[in-house]
Amino acid sequence: MEENVFETKIGSKLHYYKRGSGPIMIVTPPAWGLSSLYLQEGLAPLEQTFTLIHLELRANGKSTRPAASEMTCWHLADDIEYLRQELHLKTIPFLLGHSGGGTIALWYAIRYPDKVDRLVLLNHRLEGFDDSESLKNSIIEKKKDPKMHAPLKAWTSSWDDLSDEKFASIIRSFLPVYFWNPDAAVQSKEFNSLQTVSLWNYRLLHGSDQKDQHQEQELDKVSAKTFMIFCQADPVCTPTQGIATQKGIAGSKLVIYEHCGHFPWIEKGEETFRDIIEFCTL
């Protein structure tokens, strides 16, 4: 693995990790404090086909923290553009984003449509889309499983008095809810070893200081060939968001996995890697 750091034209410093061999695939994680480590762990099988460039977005990992006003997903898309320039790429051959990282990758494809060839979105959040009904139904379904009761109780609607360490502890406790099979939560060493997660990041991107912008009406700007994976048992990014995205991006492809939660490479690994590689190599 190769670790790199570069300075952007606005003076921020961004880190990225280079792994694998083959054509370049830039990978964007969510920006609320997880860093790219869980995707470096989970997407390792793709290194046999692609050179994965795991970008640490601003205020994540070792990358520098910007002003709070520049921590929206719309702004974060610029970090991908800075990386493209740093790598001297005319266009990004493959751009993959997961969850909130998919939100940022999608903003990039909207804002820089001529700079990305193929876009892969895994369980992405469609920013500004009202998915409240599907989210509620997903939690109702989760409550039917006794193994989900304790993890669901760990979650709270307010974290204002928490330390970053306590916030990480709550995420570890809640982790089984992200899966169709709660026992699958133990399969990620990175998630289960989380010790600190930035509450500052989370407040700005998903909490009390969140300033959502709406992507749905701008989806027709995307010109990249687009492939999406969603999962029926995902409680945070439900397939409803994927269906809405597919309607907005001409020619885009969507697959929905049954018996799978927010991390398809864990519960549906064979299908996930097969489908991504097939889309990218056709």
CATH of residue 95: 3.40.50.1820
**How many structural domains is the chain composed of?**
1
Q: Residue 157: what pLDDT?
A: 60
Collapse the DSSP code of 32 into the 3-class scheme (helix H, G, I; strand E, B; otherwise coil) and give the result: coil
Q: Is residue 182 part of a domain?
A: no
Q: Residue 229: enclosing H or E segment and its boundaries? A: strand 225-231
Sign for the pseudo-dihedral over CA of 267, 270, 271, 276? positive
Q: Residue 212: what pLDDT?
A: 77
Q: Is residue 66 part of a domain?
A: yes
Q: Residue 213: what pLDDT?
A: 87
Q: What residue numbers bound the domain in which 55 lies?
A: 2-131+210-281
d(CA 281, CA 261): 26
* 260 contacts 235 by C-beta, under 8 angstroms: no
Q: Is residue 150 part of a domain?
A: no
* pTM, to two decimals: 0.96
Q: Is residue 79 part of a domain?
A: yes
Query: Tens of pLDDT along 220-263?
Result: 999 999 999 999 999 999 999 999 999 999 999 999 999 999 99
Q: Is residue 173 part of a domain?
A: no
Q: Residue 161: what pLDDT?
A: 78
Q: Is residue 203 part of a domain?
A: no
CA distances from 183 to 139, 159, 220 (A): 17, 26, 40
Q: Is residue 248 part of a domain?
A: yes
* 180 contacts 172 by C-beta, under 8 angstroms: no
What averages of pLDDT result for each successive group of 10 residues across the chain (282 residues)?
A: 93 96 97 94 98 97 94 96 98 98 98 98 96 92 93 76 90 94 93 92 83 92 98 96 98 98 98 98 88
* 66 contacts 136 by C-beta, under 8 angstroms: no
Collapse the DSSP code of 94 into the 3-class scheme (helix H, G, I; strand E, B; otherwise coil) and give the result: strand
Q: Is residue 263 part of a domain?
A: yes
Q: Residue 80: what pLDDT?
A: 98
* 191 contacts 277 by C-beta, under 8 angstroms: no
* 56 contacts 63 by C-beta, under 8 angstroms: yes
For 22-49, give one letter per residue: b (16+ CB within 10 A) or e.
bebbbbbbbbbbbbbbbbbebbeebbeb
